[in-house]
Amino acid sequence: MKLTQDQIDTFHREGWLFLPDLFSPEEVDVLRQEAEGIYREQRPEIWREKNGAPRIAFAAHTYNEAFRLLGSHPRLIGPVEQIFGEKLYMHQFKINAKAAFTGDVWQWHQDYGTWKRDDGMPAPKAMNISVFLDEVYPFNGALMLVPKSQNEGDLDAGHDTSTTSYPLWTLDEETVTRLVKQGGIVAPTGKPGGVLLFHGNLVHGSAGNITPFPRKIVYLTLNAVSNHIRKPTRPDYIAHQDFTPIEPVADDALLRLAGQQRQAAE
């Protein structure tokens, strides 16, 4: 998987890039079924909303075969290696849920702010690349992005430990208002299998989900090996300390897994 020069230019200008239909319905079905099974488990890597609904499943690539393959998939690794110009390792892997009717907000923030303050990441040479497992509509908690806000660098932030079940370094309303006046807000939407890349300093957040439509998205935080974290304060399942470069699997790896699972079920 290679980005075109136009796509790379768009990413650097806007701070984000959306690639629709990057994964097939059959590949997504495998991932969705595995995610739903993981959310039913009781383990420390799975964090829940205050009402008990699943919010995040961390590090699924370390204990689930489908997500291990996704975490090394060439359609995800290739574009980020192109942009950074070097090998990558997995800084964080999570399956984020916005449960129907109960999914909570993600406050306005920059990802690099947390990676720097909590993990000791030297520079914003890491990014989130996300895979839609459900259809993302404008109304079921779509991620909202502030285009070009990555050009502001690392902004001052406060540590919010009370709004939601997940502590986050968040931005104040005055800062968000100023940036939105400059760049507006976009909310990329699309069918399962779409992939969103966005810069580590891009300001973003999402509203709660009060609709009957769940919204699950897998996030790979891919970091340049040279930019590995120096002072981690969070558990290894949140901020990984294995800096081994990712070696991509075969492009059809998820399809082969789907075939194996079908045969086992017959």
Q: What tokens appear for 218 in the block? A: 């897998």
Rounded to an integer, what distance in angstroms lies between the CA atom of residue 12 and that of residue 177? Answer: 22
| Contact of 189 with 129, CB cutoff 8 Å | no
Between 24 and 98, where is the model more confident?
24
What residues make up the domain containing 196?
5-265
pLDDT digits (tens, 9 = 90+) for 145-166: 999 999 998 888 777 665 655 6
Can you give the pLDDT at residue 161? 63
* CA distance to 88, 107, 244, per residue, from 80 (Å): 8, 26, 16
Banded pLDDT at 189 (limits 50, 70, 90): very high
Task: Identify the CATH number of the domain in which residue 33 sits.
Answer: 2.60.120.620
Structural domains of the chain, count: 1
Report the pLDDT averaged over residues 33-40.
94
Conformation bin of residue 254: beta by default, left when phi > 0, alpha when psi is -120 to 50? alpha
At 163 the pLDDT is 61
